[in-house]
Structure 1
Amino acid sequence: MKNAKLIYFIFLLSIIMGQKAAAQDWANLNKYQKENAVLEKPISEQKRTVFMGDSITEFWSIINSDFFSGKPYINRGISGQTTPQMLIRFRADVIALKPSAVVILAGINDIAGNTGPATLDMITNNIFSMIDLAKAHNIKVILCSVLPASDFPWSPNQNPATKVMALNSLLSSYAVANGIPFVDYYSAMANDQNGLPKTFSDDGVHPNKVGYEIMAPIVEKVISVTLTKS
């Protein structure tokens, strides 16, 4: 429980600091600049995979670090980020790392309004633009459903569950229409209120260790199949 409180404190602090630094580095391109600069080019057999996302991706390395250990997985999640911010840093934090694949998990903070109001069209347009960029650089795309959420602790009473389901429907349909592998976290994690149960999350938005342990085999199966295809 202490760990969960620390993670949530870091999440809130990142939003506050991000807002203060917005004029200087709105997309937080500086966060991984040093790590990217020293990251060696992957060997052909390595098949590097970059995880692009927000706090749900970033905290994965903190709460369940074993998932990334000894694997060619690169975590490029940034807490509090929305899809326009991710789109701006997509070249620096994904394309420049020359991965074989990118796993995109994004959209929940847009629904929360972290960087202002966002329609579903705005969210999907940003995600689809990231996909277009990846394809243009021969990077295989793995698109993820947004995790369930029935409320936001930092921005309550928005009733986001319906928007989350609508966004996931749009993402799933796009994936099918464009032959993109789709990772359905939502179906495996939603409770009967279309939220994230306490078993999987301490705050209803961010997975705990059990939640990440549910997610891991779902995405790894898709990564394995995607990277074995020619």
Structure 2
Amino acid sequence: MKTKMLVKYFYLGITFITLTCGSIHAQDRDFGGLNRYAQENKNITVSAKPVKVVFMGNSITEGWVNCHPAFFTDNGYVGRGISGQTSSQFLLRFREDVIKLSPLLVVINAGTNDVAENTGSYNEEYTFGNIMSMVELAEVHKIKVILTSTLPAASFGWNPSIKDAKAKIASLNARIKAYAHEHKIPYVDYYAKMVYGDNGALNPKYTKDGVHPTAEGYDVMEALIKEAIDKVL
């Protein structure tokens, strides 16, 4: 009897340790990426330097800052893109990377990694809901919003199992555009200016991998978004 009880307690102890270690490990992962810009955000708030516009996005936004840094520094824009992130992760860090910086305006570009299923199966309702939630949070804090289309992509090199990217991106963009129109939010259509071919690909003039813009691609985007920002502000 004592042996059975000891064995029982032994396995209970192992289970407790496993669950505890698992929880600690999960907490260390920073799924939302809140630490990515933590120091830069702190520097901005401490300096009390006004932020004109925050660009919220994924690697397309992060690459934009790296490729054309002057576009951001010269115009008082701040890039808050994190490679690989989906809209749910944007929403998790929206307070830290947007609201606390008190910008006049936020530009939201989401959807690419959702469709690519970076954090799970794609569900348009969830992605669209995340975008709406970011808009609502911005409006509560008196931050103006510009919504942008998801960029065209026929496929994703890191997830070749996605065969219907064109249809999913087109559907999401139509929904974002309709929502923007209904709520009188400016909408910038990168897609229409950058799509190429019947498969909904990103124009090869503007990309090397079919997903991320080159410097020439960012030139196209800059002309479109700068005009929209100037109208809003």
Same fold (TM over 0.5): yes
Paired-residue identity, %? 43
Q: 1:130 aligns with which of 128, 131, 134?
A: 134
1:59 deviates by: 0.4
User: What TM-score results when the alignment is normalised by the length of structure 1?
Assistant: 0.86
Deviation, 1:79, is 0.4
CA displacement at 1:22 relative to structure 2: 7.5
Tell me the distance in 1 between the aligned counterparts of 2:75 and 2:174.
Answer: 31
2:66 aligned to which of 54, 62, 76: 62
Aligned to 2:10: none
Task: State how far apart, in whole Å, the 2-side matches of 1:123 and 1:135 are.
Answer: 19
Residue number among 26, 29, 48 corresponding to 1:41 in the alignment: 48
Which residue identity is paired with 1:138? K
Q: 70, 87, 92: which one pairs with 2:96?
A: 92
Cα distance, 1:107 vs structure 2: 0.9
Match of residue 188 from structure 1: 193
Secondary structure, counterpart of 1:74 in structure 2: strand
**What is the CA–CA distance in structure 2 between the aligned matches of 1:140 and 1:123, rounded to whole Å?**
20
Indicate the structure (1 or 2) with the bigger Cα radius of gyration.
Answer: 2
Q: 1:163 matched to which residue of 2?
A: 168
User: Residue 211 of structure 1 aligns with which residue?
Assistant: 217
* Cα deviation 1:85-132 (Å, max 9, x = unaligned): 000100000000000000000111011100001211110000000000
Equivalent in the alignment of 2:3: none
- The match for 1:174 is 179
TM-score by length of 2: 0.85
* Inter-partner Cα distance in structure 2 for 1:63 and 1:145: 20
Segments of 5+ residues of structure 2 without an aligned counterpart are 1-24
* SS of residue matched to 1:61: helix
CA shift in 2, pair 1:123/1:168, >3 Å: same
1:102 maps to 106
The structural deviation recorded for 1:183 is 0.6
Q: What is the root-mean-square deviation of aligned Cα atoms in Å?
A: 1.4
1:25 alignment counterpart: 30
Aligned-partner Cα distance in 2 for 1:22–1:221: 42
Q: Distance in 2 between matches of 1:149 and 1:66?
A: 27
The alignment of Structure 1 onto Structure 2 pairs a total of residues equal to 205
C-alpha contact (below 8 Å) 1:147/1:196 kept by paired residues: yes
In 1, Cα distance between the equivalents of 2:216 and 2:58? 19
Q: 1:178 to 1:157 in 2, by over 3 A?
A: same
Tell me, yes or no, if the aligned pair for 1:42 and 1:98 is still in contact at 8 Å: no
Structure showing the higher helix proportion among its residues: 2
Structure 1 residue 69: deviation in Å?
A: 2.9
Provide, for residues 16-46 of structure 1, a one-character-per-residue CA deviation record: whole Å limited to 9, x for no partner.
Answer: xxxx978531001000000000113344xxx
1:52: how far off?
0.2
Tell me the alpha carbon deviations over residues 41-98 of structure 1, each in whole angstroms, 9 at most, x when there is no partner.
344xxx6100000000000011222321322100000000001100010000000000
Letter of the 1:85 counterpart:
Q
Could you tell me how far 1:197 is from its partner in structure 2? 1.8
**Which residue identity lines up with residue 93 of structure 2 in the other structure?**
R
CA distance in 2 between counterparts of 1:214 and 1:153 reads 23
